[in-house]
Amino acid sequence: MSAAAGAVRARRRRKRLRRAGWNAIALAVFAAMVFPVYWMVATAFKSDDEIVGLTPTWLPEHPTLAHFRAAVEKPFFWTDVKNSLIVVSVTVAVSIVLAFLAAVALAKYRFTGRKLFVVLVIGIQMLPQTALIIPLYVVLARYRQVNALSGVVLTYMTFVLPFSVWTLRGFIIGIPKELEEAAMVDGSTRLGAFVKILLPLVAPGLVATSVFAFIQSWNEYIFARVLLNDQAKQTVTVWLSYFYGTSRHIDWGALMAGSTLTAIPVVIFFLLVQRRIAFGLTAGAVRG
Amino acid sequence: MRSRVFVALLAAVALGVVAATASAAGSRQAANRLTVWLQVDAQSGWPDVVANANQQFERDHPGWTVDVQYQNWGDHLQKLDAALAGGTAPDVVEMGNTEMTKYMAAGAFADLTGSKSKFANSGSWLKGLASSATYRGKLFGVPYYAGSRVVTYRTDLFKKAGITKLPTSLAELTADARKLLDRNKQRGFSPIYIAGTDWYVAMSFVYDYGGSIARTSGGKWYGNLDSKRSIAGLNAYKQFFLAVSRASKTTDEIHPNPYDVYAQGLAGAMLGPSWFSCCVGKYKNVTAQFVMPSHVKGQPMPGFLGGSDLAVPVGSSHQSAAVDWIADFTSTESEKALQAKGNIPNATNLLGASVNERAAARSWFVPTAKHWVDVENGNILRNMLAQILTGKLSVKQAASSASDNITRVLNQS
Amino acid sequence: MLGSRLTPDAAIAGARPGPRRRVSRARVARGATPYLLLLPVAVAIGAILGYPLVDLVRLSFQRYGLFELIRHSGSWVGVANYSSVLRDGVFWHTLLRTVVFTAANVGLTMVLGTLLALLLVRVSAWARVVLTAGLVLVWSMPVVVAVQVWYWMTNFQNGVVNYVLTSLGVGDFFQHDWYATTFSQLALVTTLIVWGALPFVAITVYAALAQVPHELVEAAQIDGAGPLRVFRDVTVPVLRPVLLILTSLSIIWDFGVFTQPYLLIGQSKITPGNYLMGIYLFEEGYFRGDYGRGAAIAILMLLIVAALSVVYVRRMARMGEEAT
């Protein structure tokens, strides 16, 4: 066996060891991050006595579905899940399309008023949302958008749009100039080239942004609460608030079960798009 | 050229979507629809009472429908403010009795003085509730129901500690608590669980010793916690708390829920609303209640009379229908049904002999000042109690600083 | 010239002089393109937020309490709301507390988030999937729910945190009161906010890392650059726009944060002694029903956060110029 081959093998072993070390760290981080989530799910499966018990148990001793049943049977669960899905999908779809257009304009064109628009987009996000509740309500009431899902969609767009424009712009700027130039030299037309070259390159950014927009609007509570009065028209976070908004007994188990159910659609959405993020690395390298 | 068309097309599509969302169905108030905001307690506790009132109303008013929308205590005022600003307030709204004054003073509610006779038992409404719905001699709300605070206790532990008869004075109760403590050495065990900053309990001591939170003189409000009697009450509270409760000295009566501590087996008794007995877990069969005794033997300690009123926002375009619905919902029959669910009915002639109702015989209420709710929400009392119990400040120092604060807040323009 | 320039066009302009000599109609088209692209967003935001923003500014110069709210009309008081806020000692204490709080939260979020993203690149594929899934689980938790869980884990009676710390022998944490002091309260809020923000930062930075061209990394490595140099010279330039955006967004969010501290500390423990700006605004302006003063606080907050993030925004703008 030659010395060179031995050295190669030693380097490979070192590399494997290092990777194993990183993996171990990743698992530790995973455990620490996920513990609160685990605690929520575990509590949802525990019996009432076990939940208030003085010594916490790591695993439910007598796992029960009673809390999940109570949550699902609570009035308006399915209606409100449906409402949330409608609000979120419309908000995300419309926002991402509009934001992408604006982001291209900001990142790739120079024009008068560009700076003003950037300042506006950033400035809007600096406004404390609590301050906007009443002025926004008054406007929406004027357009008969109170107690309507469309009013909530419009409201969500006001904070999802600036954010999305802002982040997508960052992703578009991050694309190395050489790639675009290469595409142009290849003879593509102006915007056609953009769409062909930009879209695949920006895909991870689009996905990350839409995941964010999805989660942001799925989890929003304050505006939905103020704008929607009718329980049949509310979103699922508002539905959840009825667990702890009573002056009476708070059913911790059912609250945790309801919370767990509320989180599921986000996880599903992510699973649907995670390939784009998880394999974004390679996608970025292949670059058409 | 192609790119321009493409951009224009995308923009058009995008705008179309925005327009479509914007014009989707909004809520249009039907002419004959009465919108009612009730707290969620009614939905989980007595939906049948609501349904009966609605039926009655719809029978008497053909063509009308009642739309009851349930709200949460946590943010219902924020919602009400927004709705008042947007001109979309409901026709009837349930208010906590300590929340009424601010809104009455601002002219948020319709004057119901002329309709008073339409409401059942309006001549004998509970004083605590009726006064919370009255501002400058006019009636702006209808008492809905009340709740008082009692001692919920473990009969088995009391028996084991050799307590054979229920205490009739504060001193007896404190002695009983000592006995309970001797028999239960478990760490964290409270003979009588009270959350440190539970101001409803603490102020009951103040009123029991003849003190008060604030007094009025010459049209001006003055904080009164630094008066001699109030300080005596606060001292008594401090001593009682330190002797009987192992609760956090800085926490309120929701974090944790006292009944959760009780269900953990960590309390021999707890002070709070009578419905606390709902949630005691496995101790259901060894749980009973008695009236909190005063420091004067044989008397009950005055308790805070919590409750709800029903009001009609001025913006409502169905004010007379709203009055009719309230009359149906607070009828003798309705109130009796509420009583059966463990609440105190709104009138003295309906009162029974339950512990809850006996405790209501001596009660106190917060100052009916326009800015009272700012004192409550500003946590002036809770902050004072935390300072007293942790020993950060002496009772006198804490009380006089809180008193000054109360004077300032209550006299804001 | 219409003040508009399509970048790639200009980039090629030297190589192919063709477009320069085209008729002006093409220029007009180019001039209109960015505006057409911006139009939908501008219309959407303008239509929904335009009036509320004007309204907010108007309110800040009016006496506008519950009484005025019901009658839909306030009375002009000039700058009285602003001067009352600026003369309020509570405002300045709160501002200082919030700046320190924001610095701690943003710093922790950005450093830990970037480290997590770099970790994601280094681990095996399966570990990456596991870790990303975990991050998304965390991310998917609604804030209101996370607050409940946090409270549940740290509660005085039987919080699992006290139990674990006691079991580990860290000390006697039986019924330790995590909500007893302002520092302890805000430290808990910090853990909650950083925990909740990490997934977003980590996943976004990770997505941005995907844009780092492999060839460049390899070329640098062949040139003998160590991992630190590769990171500094190849990775950071690509990440910079995203990192800057994330930092400025974090500053904006953390400075005005409301839900987490308000719900976790709990309304009943909120006093001027532990206010953050978002809570100050809500308590003094809205909870008390003094909407004019609330509007003034909101506008002051806007100005302050603008001042705090101006460094980032200006660097952003400069970078934008470089990129175009």
Structural domain includes residue A183: yes
Residues A84 and A45 in one domain: no
User: Looking at residue B59, what is its pLDDT?
Assistant: 95
The count of residues in chain A is: 288
Residues A138 and A266 in one domain: yes
Q: Do A141 and B87 touch (CB under 8 A)?
A: yes
Domain B33-147+306-364 matches domain B149-305+368-410 at the CATH topology level: yes
Chosen for mutation from B18, B95, B408 (greatest number of chain C CBs closer than 10 Å) is: B18
Nearest to A249 by CA among B342, B246, B98: B342
- Per-residue confidence at A108, pLDDT binned at 50, 70, 90? confident
Structural domain includes residue A58: no
Instruction: Report d(CA C125, CA A19) in Å as an integer.
Output: 11
User: Looking at residue B3, what is its pLDDT?
Assistant: 47
Nearest to B107 by CA among B402, B335, B370: B370
Contact C249, A163 (CB under 8 A): yes
CATH class of B149-305+368-410: alpha beta
Q: Which of A117-131, A147-161, B150-164 has the lowest mean pLDDT?
A: A117-131
pLDDT in tens, B362-401: 889 899 888 898 898 889 999 999 999 999 999 999 999 9
Q: Is the dihedral of CA A215, A217, A223, A227 positive or negative?
A: negative
| Other residues' Cβ atoms within 10 Å of the Cβ of residue C111 | 12
Residues A232 and A139 in one domain: yes
Q: Nearest by CB to B81, which of C32, C69, C158?
A: C69
**Chain C partners within 8 Å of A136 (Cβ):** 48-49, 52
Q: Is the dihedral of CA A234, A237, A239, A242 positive or negative?
A: negative
Retrieve residue B167's tokens.
Answer: 């205490």
Which subunits have 3 or more CB–CB pairs within 8 Å of chain A?
B, C
| Other residues' Cβ atoms within 10 Å of the Cβ of residue B59 | 10
Q: Starting from the edge strand earliest in sequence, which strands make up the sheet with B149-154, in order?
A: B269-273, B149-154, B287-290
Instruction: Report d(CA C57, CA C79) in Å as an integer.
Output: 11
Which of B 184-223 lie inside 8 A of A, CB atoms? 188
Q: How many CB pairs under 8 A join B and C?
A: 112
Instruction: Specify the CATH number of the domain B33-147+306-364.
Output: 3.40.190.10
Structural domain includes residue A139: yes
Parse chain B into domains and list their residue ranges.
Answer: 33-147+306-364, 149-305+368-410
Instruction: Report d(CA A156, CA C16) in Å as an integer.
Output: 45
pLDDT in tens, B20-79: 444 443 334 456 899 999 998 898 889 999 999 999 999 999 999 999 999 988 789 888
Kindly report the nearest CA distance between residue A157 and chain B, in angstroms: 10
**Chain A partners within 8 Å of B70 (Cβ):** 231, 242
User: Looking at residue B21, what is its pLDDT?
Assistant: 45
What's the one-letter identity of residue C142?
A: P
Which subunits have 3 or more CB–CB pairs within 8 Å of chain B?
A, C
User: Looking at residue A194, what is its pLDDT?
Assistant: 65
Residues A48 and A84 in one domain: no
User: Looking at residue B165, what is its pLDDT?
Assistant: 92
Residues A18 and A129 in one domain: no
Give the contacts of A131 (CB within 8 A, at least 6 positions apart): C56, C281, C285, C286, C294, C295, C297, C298, C301
Q: Do B18 and C44 touch (CB under 8 A)?
A: yes
Name all domains of chain C by residue range, CATH numbers in brackets.
Answer: 1-48 (no CATH), 80-323 (1.10.3720.10)
Residues A186 and A108 in one domain: yes
Structural domain includes residue A63: no
Report how far apart, in Å, the C-alpha atoms of C102 and of each of B352, C107, C271, C305 are.
Answer: 56, 8, 19, 10
Return the percentage of chain A with pLDDT > 90, whole number: 27
Nearest to B176 by CA among B167, B185, B184: B167
Residues A80 and A189 in one domain: yes
Give pTM, 2 decimals.
0.84
Q: Which residues of chain C are modeled with pLDDT < 50?
A: 1-28, 323-324
Residues A175 and A249 in one domain: yes
DSSP for B32-96, please give it: TEEEEEEEHHHHHH-HHHHHHHHHHHHHHSTT-EEEEEEE-TTTHHHHHHHHHHHT---SEEEEE
Residue B137 exposure: Cα atoms within 13 Å on the Cβ side: 0
Per the rule left: phi > 0, alpha: psi between -120 and 50, beta: everything else, A26 is alpha
pLDDT in tens, B181-190: 999 988 889 9
Kindly report the nearest CA distance between residue C92 and chain B, in angstroms: 18
Instruction: Report d(CA A183, CA A201) in Å as an integer.
Output: 13
Structural domain span for residue A16 = 3-52
Nearest to B121 by CA among B388, B411, B326, B373: B326
C292 by DSSP, 3-state: which?
helix
User: Looking at residue C209, what is its pLDDT?
Assistant: 84
User: Looking at residue B20, what is its pLDDT?
Assistant: 45
More confident residue, C273 or A170: C273
Chosen for mutation from C9, C37, C38, C70 (greatest number of chain B CBs closer than 10 Å) is: C70
Q: Nearest by CB to B86, which of A75, A98, A141?
A: A141
**Chain C partners within 8 Å of B383 (Cβ):** 271, 273
Count up the domains in chain A and report the number: 2
Q: What is the mean pLDDT of residues B116-124?
A: 94
Structural domain includes residue A68: no
Q: What spatial distance separates the first Cα and last Cα of chain C, rounded to whole Å?
A: 17
Residue A250, pLDDT above cutoff 80: no
Task: Please name the residue of chain C whose CA is at the shortest distance from the CA of residue B102.
Answer: C66
Residues A156 and A37 in one domain: no
Cis peptide leading into residue A135 (ω within 30°): no
Contact B204, B365 (CB under 8 A): no
Q: What is the mean pLDDT of residues B214-228?
A: 94
Q: What is the mean pLDDT of residues B328-348?
A: 93
CATH code of the domain covering residue A144 = 1.10.3720.10
Give the contacts of B319 (CB within 8 A, at least 6 positions apart): B91, B110, B312
